[in-house]
């Protein structure tokens, strides 16, 4: 039973690595760099999450858990941790501005739709929107960023109109790679929780899949699923914003947590080697 479990896990890892390796090779990341990244994560997880209670985790124990030599544990531990803080801040900034534009009544028209805003001004302007939802970042920088990515359109008379209901970076590859790390990690955390939980409730994890669909049905399904998913996400976004203390400083409660729901669309020709179950 244990051997069968191990074989299934190895096959699952091979399947999830295939699209990741495709991204790495396309962006010039070698196997050596990937191997160092993987080794460092093995060491960090072993050190932080697999220690014996009441005892400091030693290099020797990390070596035993990971299968790496003590010398290799020390080497990868000394590697500089690369961060994507700049991309993360830019993504969060644009997302907050769009969310505020969509739900803050000061920036909505009588029908509850995002208003066309003058670029500058002290009230009901894009400048004020950025000040309220993006802090001290120059509004011109946010304007250029969102215009480049197609999130807004610059109209005549120096006004701007929201053109996307969510932030979807199109031009900046670094932002897309940031999303790769964040969204995939959230999904993996949920799967890990559902496999290893004891007394905690399972987290929602579902998909709908059919494997004999014609091309014509896929075209319609893309449109149908995009509309339904966006509507659900906006409904959940409104609920979460009322309880998030950054969006609503009056919200009470204890602790600080990250929580949300992610939805993604998938398709591929039937019969490919890495097809889904």
Over residues 36-57, mean pLDDT? 90
Is-above-0.85 flag for pTM?
Answer: no
Q: How far apart are CA 82 and CA 240, in angstroms?
A: 31
Q: What range does the domain containing 120 cover?
A: 85-162
Shared domain for 94 and 155, answered yes or no, is yes
Shared domain for 212 and 245, answered yes or no, is yes
Does 28 reside within a domain? yes
Shared domain for 29 and 96, answered yes or no, is no
Does 197 reside within a domain? no
Does 101 reside within a domain? yes
Shared domain for 31 and 2, answered yes or no, is yes
Q: Which residue has the higher pLDDT, 83 or 119?
A: 119
Over residues 100-129, mean pLDDT? 92
| Percent with pLDDT over 70 in the chain | 96
Give the pLDDT band of residue 276 (cuts 50, 70, 90).
very low
* Predicted local confidence at residue 87, as pLDDT: 74
Shared domain for 51 and 107, answered yes or no, is no
Of 44, 63, 81, the one marking the end of a domain is 81
Residue-wise pLDDT tens digits, 164-204: 888 877 767 777 888 888 899 999 999 999 999 888 899 99
Residue-wise pLDDT tens digits, 251-271: 989 999 999 999 999 999 987
Beta strands in the chain (DSSP E): 117-118, 152-155, 159-162
> What total of structural domains would you count in the chain?
3
Shared domain for 108 and 52, answered yes or no, is no
Shared domain for 73 and 106, answered yes or no, is no
Over residues 72-98, mean pLDDT? 82
* Predicted local confidence at residue 56, as pLDDT: 86
Of 65, 81, 97, the one marking the end of a domain is 81
Give the pLDDT band of residue 277 (cuts 50, 70, 90).
very low
Over residues 41-46, mean pLDDT? 94
Q: What is the DSSP string of 172-221?
A: -HHHHHHHHHHHHHHHHHHHHHHHH-SSSPPPP------S---HHHHHHH
Of 81, 106, 121, the one marking the end of a domain is 81
* Predicted local confidence at residue 61, as pLDDT: 92
* Predicted local confidence at residue 13, as pLDDT: 93
Shared domain for 12 and 72, answered yes or no, is yes
Shared domain for 56 and 42, answered yes or no, is yes
Shared domain for 38 and 104, answered yes or no, is no
Kindly provide the b/e burial profile for residues 15-34, where b requires at least 16 CB atoms within 10 angstroms of the residue's own CB. Answer: eeeeeeeeebeeeeeeeeee
| Percent with pLDDT over 90 in the chain | 57
């Amino acid at each position: 039973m244990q051997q069968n479990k191990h074989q299934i896990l190895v096959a699952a890892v091979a399947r999830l690595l295939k699209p990741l390796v495709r991204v790495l090779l396309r962006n010039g990341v070698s196997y050596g760099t990937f191997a160092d990244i993987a080794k460092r994560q093995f060491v960090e997880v072993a050190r932080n999450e697999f220690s014996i209670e009441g005892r400091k985790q030693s290099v020797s124990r990390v070596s035993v858990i990971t299968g790496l030599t003590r010398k290799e544990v020390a080497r990868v531990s000394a590697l500089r941790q690369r961060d994507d803080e700049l991309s993360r801040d830019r993504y969060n900034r644009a997302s907050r501005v769009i969310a505020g534009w969509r739900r803050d009544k000061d920036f909505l028209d009588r029908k509850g739709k995002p208003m066309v805003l003058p670029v500058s001004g002290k009230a009901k302007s894009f400048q004020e929107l950025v000040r309220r939802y993006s802090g001290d970042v120059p509004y011109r920088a946010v304007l250029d960023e969102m215009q480049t990515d197609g999130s807004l359109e610059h109209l005549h008379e120096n006004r701007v109109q929201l053109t996307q209901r969510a932030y979807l970076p199109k031009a900046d590859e670094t932002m897309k790679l940031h999303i790769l790390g964040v969204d995939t990690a959230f999904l993996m955390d949920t799967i890990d929780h559902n496999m290893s939980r004891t007394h905690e409730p399972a987290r929602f994890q579902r998909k709908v899949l059919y494997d004999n669909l014609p091309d014509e049905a896929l075209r319609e399904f893309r449109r149908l699923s995009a509309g339904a998913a966006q509507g659900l996400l906006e409904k959940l976004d409104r609920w979460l914003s009322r309880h998030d203390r950054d969006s609503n400083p009056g919200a009470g409660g204890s602790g600080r947590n990250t929580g949300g729901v992610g939805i993604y669309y998938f398709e591929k020709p039937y019969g490919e080697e890495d097809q889904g179950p």
